[in-house]
Structure 1
Amino acid sequence: MLRMETVDSINKIIDVNEEDDPELSEKLTQISKKHNAVLLACIAPYVGLKISPTKTVNAQMGLSEEFAVETAINHIQTKTDVQKLMLLVSSPGGLVQSSYKVARALRKTFKEIIVFVPHIAASGGTLLALTGNKIVMGMMSQLSPLDPQAQSGEGVVSANSVVDAHQFVTMLFDEVSLEDAPYSYKALADKFDGVDIRDALASLSLMEEYICEILEESGYSKAECKRISKSIVRGFKTHDEVITVDKAKKLGLKVVTHNDFLEEWNLFRDWLGKYMLQSADKHVIRFVISENLVRT
């Protein structure tokens, strides 16, 4: 078993290693051998880490995940030259920057990626799922829109909501002058900050650029990238809308059902089950490489 020799300060904030459960590892190794692929799990446990009597911290894409995935990739590359990856993603998302950097690192490292989403890959987790040349989904699988969150006053809301609300208020003045507008119209207009609106528009545009880059690396045409990125960023009612396997297909994503990979699907669900209910404040990163793939 490969031991992780990482700088102590980094090692304290990451949770990454080869899978060490004997029974599970043996089964996963057989899948790795069958597909000539590295297996990698990126799992955010559903139970947060209690750090005080009143505060719990949940796992989300951030600094820990950036260094953890980098560490995993570095160790994988010391053992094998294989460039096929089977990736398990279970994540509520997190920071846009971190999600993008992790997705980009995976796409730059592996030529072929098959992503498995047994349950939830939301927000930044959806961006990770888009690294797949194929995305395997089942009945309970969930992706989500990728509309970034923007600052509005003292809170954070969907950038789409900021833009849509501004457009709604602007329409109120289409048929009435500012001088003749009722007080309620003026009060609504006064609530908007031009800088917030500009930042919201910029964040939507930037997210579309990130998605296009990842999709293009995943084998989509430029036209498909543009259409899918616009739809997944701007085409849904709320940030929490569930994108099922059927909706994902309608978006144009390269989705297949779990029945196409039934053995792998069931085993990846077991892999998720091992970690999903443990208490943690960071994603668990585990990987498996069969012996036949190890560089001699």
Structure 2
Amino acid sequence: MDNINRINLIKEISEERNSKVICYICGDRKNVSIRIAPDIIPIFYDQLKTLNKNDKIDLILYTKGGDILTALRLVELIYEFTDNFSVIIPYKAYSSGTLICLGASEIVMGRMSELSPVDPNIISPFSTKENDLHNQLPINVEDVYSFISLAKDIVGLKTDESLMNMFLELTEYVHPLAAGSVYRTHALIRSIAKKLLLMHMEYQDEYKINEIINILTERLPSHNYMITRKEAKEDIKLPVTYCNQEFEKKIWNLYKIYEDDFKLNSPFIAEEAADDNGNFSVCSGIIETLNESNGYIFEGNLERSNMNITIMNQGWRNI
């Protein structure tokens, strides 16, 4: 891996921004992808505790999402070590990655930077009516709310009886407990988003805060909708800073090095990676500063006779 060039770019960015830079690359390589999860918190703590309280912290973030509670916990942890927190987005910061951005007083975006709605999918034992554990379907929070809005606003259902019949029809396809989970998750997302925004906004800005939350949780047309820096700044009113072309080139080059190092565009194929004994090891993500690098490692074994793959170990370690 191209550690020297990565470190040189991190150093340049740190000097230009007069900040301490932490890179969190949540790799999305097919077959070995990782997502934001609670196991990052001790790793961040170990790296943050080496900083001074007055240090400005820049988080360079790449992720397609993950656990929403971890997003809140991470931002809370970062603010234990600084009063000046920014997120730099070379490319993608989706879903719970967007939530992390809501906690920053500055979001640095280039022309390739993307945020997303924060309406995650829910998968539980009740995601199918028959509780078929092998065929669970993800339930998108906003799909359920959109169905209810369709019935009320477009179809024109108004009476208690018609709305009750509509709800009963919905529960023919969505388990009632899964529907309850949708409601709870929707409320949780809004609560987390508000807590994150209040870390750098005032209670007097409640209308603006609620507008941001409403847009990101309800008003965008698709969970896969990509929010550009222009829309983030002008329409959603997030604290976005447009980076200049020179700085954009640096953060994009850094992302491309990570992309190449972790082969994000190439599916992981165990047969190609395994040694003569069938053992393989692959790094799928990284949390990195100038002084320390922690990678997320999958270790496993391939039985070539039947092509059976066993993951023996996975987790964060110093690299």
Q: TM-score, normalised by structure 1?
A: 0.74
Mapping for residues 62-73 of structure 1, pairs under 5 Å = 62-73=37-48
Change (3 A) 1:33 1:257: closer
The aligned counterpart of 1:59 is 34
Q: For residues 203 and 176 of structure 1, what CA distance do their matches in structure 2 show?
A: 25
Q: Which of 216, 223, 247 in structure 2 is aligned with 1:232?
A: 216
**Corresponding letter in the other structure for 1:284:** I
Counterpart code for 1:156: P
RMSD over equivalenced CA pairs, Å: 3.0
For the pair 1:271 / 2:246, whether they are aligned, the reply is: no
SS in 2 for 1:219: coil
Deviation string 1:57-86 (CA, Å, 9 cap, x unpaired) is 202111332332222223x33xx3333112
Within the candidate set 21, 27, 36, 1:39 is matched to: 21
Q: Counterparts of 1:203-214 in structure 2 under 5 Å? A: 203-214=185-196
Distance of 2:6 and 2:171 partners within structure 1: 59
Aligned to 1:247: 231
Q: Aligned pair 1:108/2:80, yes or no? A: yes
Say if 1:67 and 1:187 are closer, same or farther in 2 by CA, change over 3 A: same
Once residues 187 and 24 of structure 1 are traced to their aligned partners in structure 2, the CA distance between those partners, rounded to angstroms, is 54
**Structure 2 CA distance for aligned equivalents of residues 210 and 202 of structure 1:** 12
Letter aligned with residue 207 of structure 1: I
2:108 maps to which of 136, 141, 154: 136
- Report the CA distance shift for 1:243/1:288 in structure 2 as closer, same or farther (over 3 A): same
- Report the Cα distance in structure 2 between the residues aligned to 1:204 and 1:267, rounded to whole angstroms: 37
Matches within 5 A, 1:179-194: 190-194=172-176
Cα offset, 1:24, TM superposition: 4.4
Structure 2 partner of 1:159: 141
Measured in 2, the distance between the counterparts of 1:146 and 1:188 equals 23
Percent sequence identity is 18
In structure 1, distance between residues paired with 2:160 and 2:212: 38
CA contact (8 A) 1:61 1:99 kept: yes
Q: What is the Cα deviation at residue 20 of structure 1?
A: 9.0
> Which has the higher mean CA deviation after the structures are superposed, 167-176 or 61-70?
167-176
The amino acid across from 2:7 in the alignment is S
- Pairwise CA distance, 1:256: 1.9
**Aligned 1:19-98 pairs, distance under 5 A:** 21-48=3-30, 56-74=31-49, 76-77=50-51, 80-98=52-70
Superposition deviation, residue 149 in structure 1: 2.1
Q: Secondary structure at the match of 1:42?
A: strand
CA contact (8 A) 2:88 2:107 kept: yes
1-side partners of 2:289 and 2:212: how far apart? 30
Number of residues of Structure 1 aligned to a counterpart in Structure 2 = 255
Provide the C-alpha distance between the structure 2 equivalents of 1:186 and 1:207, rounded to a whole number of angstroms. 26
Asked which structure has the greater RCO (Cα within 8 Å, sep 6+), the reply is 1
SS at match of 1:39: strand
Alignment match, 1:292: none
1:100-127 deviation per Cα after TM superposition (whole angstroms, max 9, x unaligned): 2223222333211222111111011111
CA pair 189-106 structure 1, distance change in 2 beyond 3 A: same
- Larger fraction in helix: 1
| Structure 1 spans left out of the alignment, 5+ residues | 1-18, 49-55, 290-296
* 1-structure distance, mates of 2:74, 2:167: 44
SS in 1 for 2:138: strand
Q: Secondary structure at the match of 2:184?
A: helix
Do the aligned partners of 1:59 and 1:281 also contact (CA within 8 Å) in 2? no
* Residues 211, 82 of structure 1: alpha-carbon distance in 2 compared, 3 angstrom cutoff: same
What TM-score, normalized by structure 2, do the two folds share? 0.69
